[in-house]
Structures are given as structure tokens and as C-alpha cells.
Amino acid sequence: MKGKFYGIGVGPGDPELITIKGVKILKSVDVVVYPESKVGKGSIALDIAKGYLRKDIEKINLHFPMIHDRKALEEKWQENAQIIKNKLNEGKDVAFLTLGDPTVYSTYMYIVPFLKQYKVEIETIPGITSFCSVASRVNIPLAEGKESFCILPLMKDEEKLEKMLDNFDNVIIMKPSHANQMLAEKLIDKGYEDKFVLISKCGTDKEKISYDIESLKDEKIPYLSTVIVKKGGIRDE
């Protein structure tokens, strides 16, 4: 009898922002696996989930290196999928932890196609995304009525950013630290310098919320930041 494979979204950071279903499964599984970009770096997802895990649970870190060689990457994914498969073949249920939601930029989804091939039973439990969490924190809508919105992990691609700003009512920018000065200039250019909010380290004791374009120009904005641009304007609290 094979075990079952779960992907569990542990949400944006607060352990109480996991679903009832997610917690039930976390309490029941035999093995948790969590991704690490560097071996030994640790896992925020594991930190969030640890209070719900059985004391005797087996924890396995899977290495997902930050490399661009597609072939080497796929080999690594297959290797990781094989580790999970072996545990499932022992009859153990395995949960793969993902920060936020498993369907939004997670490493979990790189593993799933291999496990589908192995004819394993898979269940994905959705989680609270960082962008929903951040919008809730400042009590503003990501979209209302007939508005469209898009989610964009920021890169140094001016043309792409411009297209998004031109075509959408609301633009949610993830990882703005990748090109925040470019973003600030573009918002000024377009006349949106007072139509955004920058939230960093949401829900932690280092949280910062700013509506000021100067803060977006800052050289050192944290990696865990989100910018919400609302062309219709933002009503400050």
C-alpha cells in the first residue's frame, strides 16, 4: 500500500493563516519535505508549519539549486521526486511544504509532473498567497467590480513593466527589490507616484508599510516586499 503525496500551502508567515485542512494533514503525515535553495539554509515554510507536526515526524530537506541550466535542473527535480517516491513506496504519507500557495511560484510544482508519471496519489491544499495577505493587511482591494489585475515578479525588463502598467487597473509586483529604482522611475513617469503601497516583511515585527515614492527608491528594500499599484488611487488608512 503506497502512501499519499500532499502539497501544502502554509501561507505567508503567520501559522494561523494555514487552512483547517492543511493543519489536519500536517498533523497526520509521516514525512515532511521542504525545499532549500542552499543546503543547510533552512526553510521558512518549515518554521511556519513546525508547531503542527508530530514529534516523531521525519523531515527531509530537498535541494533546489538556483541555477539556469535546464537539463541540470530537471535532473535535480527527478532526483528529488525519486526521494519522495521511495518514502511513498514504504507506505508513508508525505507532505511537501510550500510558502504561500502551492500553485503560485512554488518549487513543489516542479516535482509534481514526475510524481504524476509514477502514478502516485496527489492532493494539493491551497494556501494564502502573499499578495492577498498584504492587501488584507492594508485593507485595500486587489480588484473590485470590473477591474483586471496582474501579478508580476519584477525583473529588469522596462518594456514588460510598462505594458502591465498600461493595460491593467491594478498591478501587483512581487520581488520589487530586483529592480525597485527602475520601478520607482516608471511610476513617476506614468504619474502613479502616489498610487501605490509598498509593504515589506508583512506580518513580522519588522513590517514596514509605505505610500511614499522615496522609500521605493531606497537601495536596500527587503526581498520579502510587495508593491500594489492601483491606478484608481489608494485610500490611505
Where along the sequence are the contacts to a second copy (CB under 8 A)?
7, 9, 11-12, 14-21, 23-24, 101-106, 109-110, 112-113, 116, 122, 124-129, 132-133, 135-137, 139-146, 148-153, 155, 160, 163-164, 167-168, 235, 237
Q: How is residue 15 annotated by DSSP?
A: G
CB of residue 117 to a second copy, shortest distance in Å: 10
Neighbours of 133 (CB within 10 A): 20
CA torsion 10-15-17-19 (nearest 10°) is 60
Neighbours of 198 (CB within 10 A): 25
C-alpha cell at 149: 489585475
Output 16 or 219, the one with its CB closest to a second copy.
Answer: 16
CB of residue 94 to a second copy, shortest distance in Å: 15
Output 156 or 220, the one with its CB closest to a second copy.
Answer: 156
Contact (Cβ atoms closer than 8 angstroms) between residue 32 and residue 49 = yes
Instruction: Give CA–CA dist 202/225, Å, rounded.
Output: 8
CB of residue 105 to a second copy, shortest distance in Å: 6
Output 20 or 39, the one with its CB closest to a second copy.
Answer: 20
CB of residue 51 to a second copy, shortest distance in Å: 11
Output 64 or 192, the one with its CB closest to a second copy.
Answer: 64
Could you give the maximum distance between any two Cα atoms of the chain, in Å?
61
